Structure 1
Amino acid sequence: MIVDCAIYHDGHRTEGPEDFSDALDTARAAGGFVWIGLHEPSEKEFEHVTDEFGLHPLAVEDALKAHQRPKLEVYDDSLFVVLKPVIYEPHSDTVSTGEIMVFVGDSFVVTVRHGEGGGLAAVRQRLEQEPETLGQGPTSVLYAISDSVVDHYLDVATELQTDLEELEAEVFSPDGGGSRHTASRIYNFKRQITEFRRATGPLALPMSRLAGTGAGSTFGTGVPFVEDRARPFFRDVSDHLTRVNESVENLDRLVSDILSAHLAQISVQQNDDMRKISAWAAMAAIPTMLAGVYGMNFDHMPELHWVWSYPAVITVMAVMEVLLYRLFKRRGWL
């Protein structure tokens, strides 16, 4: 359950006690804070953390059940933030999301991670190499996690843009637009963008509140447990997130346009096919009509007993066929 537990003082790490129930008291006595990382804890396992840090039961319920939207909740003794890291598999062209729940208090940070993505070992290692940032307390951990998640959003958006350009080239290629699998690929790509948007879109308001610029922030006091000097850092994260959301909107709009263009191509191709079929049917109608007339077996028919009747009818058929073929070819129907 516990991935890592450490106490930080003046931006430097000291190993946490074996029993994390003493970690908070130890951190407060040293004037630092404790950071405990958990991965998919059970309700019974998380109960010890809840009792030790006094976490709000509603936030605990969200952390255990997962499948939450990105959000920011302020409670009396802690701050609760939900982030959704995104993983993009280029081989399967699929977007999957994990979840990171962050509890921030005056002297503690508790992170709960769900899913395979969004590991925080690299974030912790990077922070431990930046004592000045880590020395700002629990706020620095929340910033570092948010920054890591949003920066990865930018990478995923870039990869999606590259794949979209490849898809666009396929749709508008001479032989790719009519592929029976193209429409399903476009639709699947649009589903991946929708999944990506579920992670990035709702996070805009929490980041704005943490930066002190959102409608939900309390100007003058800011968000509890977030120091005022950390606002510029969260503004930077919020700016990156805005770029991501703009990219997602552009991707979604382009995919819709590509799908419309693909459907239009199919419609034009079907019209071309119908014109060709109609042209060949019209050419087949001439000999069918003449053969039908002279196949009615009446005695009194024009030129019925003429020696050259058969060659004349065949000649008329051939001339009419050639004239129709040239007419349809000139109009682009064949």
Structure 2
Amino acid sequence: MAMTRVRPPRALFKPRRPQDARRQGPPRGSAVIDWAAYIDGHRVCTDTVGDAVRLIRDGRLTPEGDSAGFVWVGLHEPSASELSDLAEVFGLHPLAVEDAIHAHQRPKHERYDDVHFVVMKTVGYVPGEDGSEVVETGEIMIFCGPDFVVTVRHGTHGELAPVRTRLERDPARLVHGPAAVLHAVTDHVVDGYVNVADAVQEDIDEVEEAVFSPERTDESRRIYRLKREVIQLKRAVGPLAGPLRSLSGRRFVPAEIKEYLRDVEDHLTRVREQVESYDELLNPILQAHMTQVTVADNKDMRKISAWGAIFMVPTAIAGIYGMNFDFMPETNWRYGYFMILGVIGAACLSLYRGFRRNGWL
């Protein structure tokens, strides 16, 4: 299929200096993290994104008119103007561009003519305000066309520089074009799910051990926090299954890459089942902990009641003898005081032994 040649704006992005500037990075303040043209699986550095597009669309065409390479542009939280420039060059749909700018999208796969738009959630397990670790999410959007890939990342997780580096070391994979990048990014995202799921598993194991240990500790706050983090993880992992399954059946994806996408889908299924099991595991842990708390509270109440009953004996006797009557038993007896103390002591001791025998003390 012949490619539509669109001449990029000359001021798409400022050029990098010096000429060979692969590692110099983008201009300061730009959302562009990296860009390059890839021909036959090898990176070709250019001064601007526009130069990379011209190289692919005007300088390297097959006899059938198809591009023999592609451009990969990586951005981090771009502004509307920056993404609009790229949308003009690559023909990106305005609705997809709007989603990529504002983020907060559900994982999905949409097709606009010959451009595929994929949204994925990224996750990280980071320290929260109270020192405990929390699941933090971000997003990666991918515009995948016949001769280009545009990746838009939101948040601090899922950095794609390592993905680009690994792919550039494997030209045999990169020669498959934009689909190879699409697979590498999805694989990177799912690997992040696996790492976070394993970290959450360690915390759940610690809570479970603490709940069933002989020492009495209050783990209710930590259990509720873990349940909240599991829900966050489920919201990121679960919805991605549909888009991955859809991508595996697309004709623009070579057969070799489809096999790798199916492998990623298998990994996603395993981590999704793993995360779902966490919720099922946390429920009985929480129930066991609440039962322990209830039993402990009941035990404390029994102790309080037992001691209250014991102290009621001297209180009652002292109250009776504190009344001002002329004729009180044993009030005129020399040993009456010691007799009353003995009665109080015997009664208290008898009650104490009874409560102790029944497990109240």
- Say yes or no: TM over 0.5: yes
Shift of 1:52: 0.8
Q: Is the 8 A contact 1:79 1:225 kept in 2?
A: no
1:325 counterpart residue number: 352
2:204 maps to amino acid: L
The question of 1:36 aligning with 2:73 is answered: yes
Q: Percent identity?
A: 51
Q: Is the 8 A contact 1:50 1:60 kept in 2?
A: yes
Aligned residue among 195, 198, 207 for 1:167: 207
Q: Deviations over 1:19-68 (max 9, x none)?
A: 42525514762511111111111111111110111111111110000111
Aligned residue among 13, 19, 22 for 2:54: 22
The question of 1:53 aligning with 2:90 is answered: yes
Q: Is the 8 A contact 1:72 1:81 kept in 2?
A: yes
What is the root-mean-square deviation in Å for CA atoms of aligned residues? Answer: 1.9
Aligned residue among 293, 304, 327 for 1:277: 304
1:192-203 mapped onto 2 (5 Å cutoff): 192-203=229-240
Aligned residue among 117, 122, 127 for 2:167: 127
What TM-score do you get using the length of structure 1 for normalisation? 0.90
Q: Deviations over 1:193-223 (max 9, x none)?
A: 2222221111111112223xxxxxxxxxx32
**Partner SS state of residue 87, structure 1:** strand
2:266 counterpart residue number: 239
Aligned residue among 15, 34, 37 for 1:4: 34
Shift of 1:313: 1.6
Aligned residue among 287, 290, 314 for 2:341: 314
**Partner SS state of residue 85, structure 1:** strand
CA distance in 2 between partners of 1:69 and 1:279 (Å): 58
Q: Is the 8 A contact 2:100 2:152 kept in 1?
A: yes
**Residue correspondences, number:** 321
1:136-147 mapped onto 2 (5 Å cutoff): 136-147=176-187
CA distance in 2 between partners of 1:117 and 1:14 (Å): 27
2:179 maps to amino acid: T
CA distance in 1 between partners of 2:309 and 2:59 (Å): 90
Q: Is the 8 A contact 1:150 1:241 kept in 2?
A: yes
What TM-score do you get using the length of structure 2 for normalisation? 0.83
**Partner SS state of residue 33, structure 1:** strand
Higher relative contact order (CA 8 A, sep 6+): 1
CA distance in 2 between partners of 1:160 and 1:84 (Å): 17
Aligned residue among 122, 138, 141 for 1:85: 122
The question of 1:109 aligning with 2:141 is answered: no
Shift of 1:302: 3.3
Q: Which runs of 5+ in 1 are unaligned?
A: 212-221
Q: Deviations over 1:279-324 (max 9, x none)?
A: 0000011111112222222223333433332222211111111111
Shift of 1:158: 1.1
CA distance in 2 between partners of 1:281 and 1:26 (Å): 94
Q: Which moved more, 1:254-263 or 1:51-60?
A: 254-263
Q: Deviations over 1:105-130 (max 9, x none)?
A: 11111111111221111101111111
**Partner SS state of residue 98, structure 1:** strand
1:216 counterpart residue number: none
CA distance in 1 between partners of 2:269 and 2:192 (Å): 14
Q: Is the 8 A contact 1:67 1:99 kept in 2?
A: yes
Q: Is the 8 A contact 1:27 1:107 kept in 2?
A: no
